[in-house]
Chains A and B, each alone.
Chain A
Amino acid sequence: MNTDDHEKGPSRRKVLECMTWAGTGVLWTIAGGVPTSLGIIDGALAQQSKGFTFLQISDSHMGFDKPANPNVKSTLEEAIGRVKALPVKPSFMIHTGDISHLSKPAEFDDADRIISEARLDVHFVPGEHDVIDEDQGKLYRDRYGRGTKGAGWYSFDADGVHFIGLVNVVDLKAGGLGNLGNEQLQWLEDDLKGRAASQPIVVFAHIPLWTVYPDWGWGTQDGARVLDNLKRFGSVTVLNGHIHQVMQKVEGNVTFHTARSTAFPQPAPGTAPSPGPMKVPEDKLRTMLGIASVTFKQNEQRLAIIDTPLQG
């Protein structure tokens, strides 16, 4: 190795590190709307121990059996294994949809059996794959929709944080994106009425509420109306799935974040002819699947999201 290589080495490594920050697990802290990276996962886990933590899993796609991952049960089991191994037990879990691949009872059964191994309360919202039974979502609502409104939206409070689960996968319109609809938006307005602007808000839904890539349908038609309703709040976090990869954006007081799938990766926007399942070499697959954990530090209005791949 010559001197040149020595000089180039670290900088190339650094570039790769930046490109794969999602793959190695980076802690992002949001303070005053500015995201700050606090380091890779070991440092992140140390930070995590101080706050209230919950987990996000997404896009389990039970029943998918194509080359991109013929064994989605195994990878979901590994993801739940990761959850069980966390040094601090999370308060609960949210699942941001596409629990099943074809809304079949057996697929929901498999998901329930594996996810329940984590021994955590799970708050679900449906993905478009969960509402394609004959009655367009009845199976989902019967199983996961108790106490919810409409197609399955709801809110709850935990540790002073207000959580809102939205449904943007039903009644989709030709040529459009994800859709919330007037009834749900009206409910949201009422739900937020009278809440202190200082209360941290977490909104979760399957399809990104922000426009990631409209050519592939990665966005929500009326998502901006949700954000209008949240303008006055000081700390807003929007958690989504659907695109099977980590993406993050900060806009004012709002942090947008998408989680990995536990089933199969999808290509980065515009890098493939379609958003279909991406076949990667066997030894790469688990670096592209995973879970996310989110920590709130009380009285600091700070939030940290850690994405953990199944491997790497």
Chain B
Amino acid sequence: MTKKTKSLTNSVIAGVVALLLFAATPLRAEDVAIKIGNFTFGPQELKVKSGTTVTWTNEDDIPHTVVSPNNFRSKPLDSDDKFTFTFTTPGTYKYFCSLHPHMTGTIVVEAATGSITPQL
């Protein structure tokens, strides 16, 4: 392998890596976790960009649900169970636990900014 081809190969690899990073980074950065513990959602209010995936994890010894009427409804989450939802439409999403309705939370979804808006 000549020096030139090696350098070219490296550039291609670098380019592919950069492309992969570009494609993958926004998704990873937008994953957000909400903890369900002591009969509360934490954080109780959350602001995210459109396209964000939110994962709720139940850390209580009692099952809970994550319900936003007409938007999403989890199955009963036993201890350590997770529920995931990806928010693609801007707006304010109020949700609660249908078993313990005093448990409430809000997700505010904002329009995505240029750098992470998928260019389709």
Give residues 53-97 of B contacting A (CB, 8 Å): 60-63, 65, 69, 75-76, 78-79, 94-96
- Interface flag for A81 (CB, 8 Å): no
- Rounded to whole angstroms, the CA-CA distance of A103 and B96 in the bound complex is 20
Give residues 173-199 of A contacting B (CB, 8 Å): 173-177
Number of residues on chain A facing chain B (CB within 8 A): 25
Q: Main SS of chain B's interface residues?
A: loop
Contact across chains for A276 and B99 when beta carbons are under 8 A apart: no
Q: Which B residue's beta carbon lies closest to that of A133?
A: B76
Contact across chains for B62 and A175 when beta carbons are under 8 A apart: no
Provide the B30-41 mask, 1 if CB < 8 A to any CB of A, else 0: 000000001110
Given the known interface contacts A128-B99, A132-B99, A175-B96, the answer about A277 and B104 at a Cβ–Cβ threshold of 8 Å is no
Q: Please give, as numbers and ranges, the residues of chain A lying within 8 Å of B60 by CB-CB distance.
A: 274, 276
Q: Pick the contact of A129 from B39, B63, B101, B103 — CB < 8 Å?
A: B63
Q: Please give, as numbers and ranges, the residues of chain A lying within 8 Å of B78 by CB-CB distance.
A: 102
Categorize the interface residue count of chain B. 20 to 34
Provide the A273-287 mask, 1 if CB < 8 A to any CB of B, else 0: 111110000000000
- Rounded to whole angstroms, the CA-CA distance of A134 and B60 in the bound complex is 21
Contact across chains for A132 and B100 when beta carbons are under 8 A apart: no
The residue in A128, A134, A176, A275 that gathers the most chain B C-beta atoms within 10 A of its C-beta is A128
- Rounded to whole angstroms, the CA-CA distance of A277 and B38 in the bound complex is 10
- Interface flag for A217 (CB, 8 Å): yes
- Interface flag for B4 (CB, 8 Å): no
Provide the A143-165 mask, 1 if CB < 8 A to any CB of B, else 0: 00000000000000000000000
Contact across chains for B101 and A102 when beta carbons are under 8 A apart: no
Name the distance in Å between A139's Cβ and chain B's nearest Cβ.
13
Contact across chains for B104 and A174 when beta carbons are under 8 A apart: yes
- Rounded to whole angstroms, the CA-CA distance of A94 and B104 in the bound complex is 32
Q: Please give, as numbers and ranges, the residues of chain B lying within 8 Å of A39 by CB-CB distance.
A: none
- Interface flag for A14 (CB, 8 Å): no
Q: Which B residue's beta carbon lies closest to that of A61?
A: B62
Given the known interface contacts A273-B38, A276-B62, the answer about A66 and B104 at a Cβ–Cβ threshold of 8 Å is no
Q: Which A residue's beta carbon lies closest to that of B61?
A: A66
- Rounded to whole angstroms, the CA-CA distance of A273 and B79 in the bound complex is 17
- Interface flag for B28 (CB, 8 Å): no
Contact across chains for B102 and A66 when beta carbons are under 8 A apart: no
Provide the A83-104 mask, 1 if CB < 8 A to any CB of B, else 0: 0000000000000000001110
Contact across chains for B63 and A276 when beta carbons are under 8 A apart: no
Contact across chains for B63 and A277 when beta carbons are under 8 A apart: no
Q: Please give, as numbers and ranges, the residues of chain B lying within 8 Å of A132 by CB-CB distance.
A: 63, 65, 76, 99
Interface pairs (9), CB distance under 8 Å: A66-B61, A68-B61, A128-B100, A132-B65, A134-B75, A175-B96, A216-B102, A217-B102, A274-B60
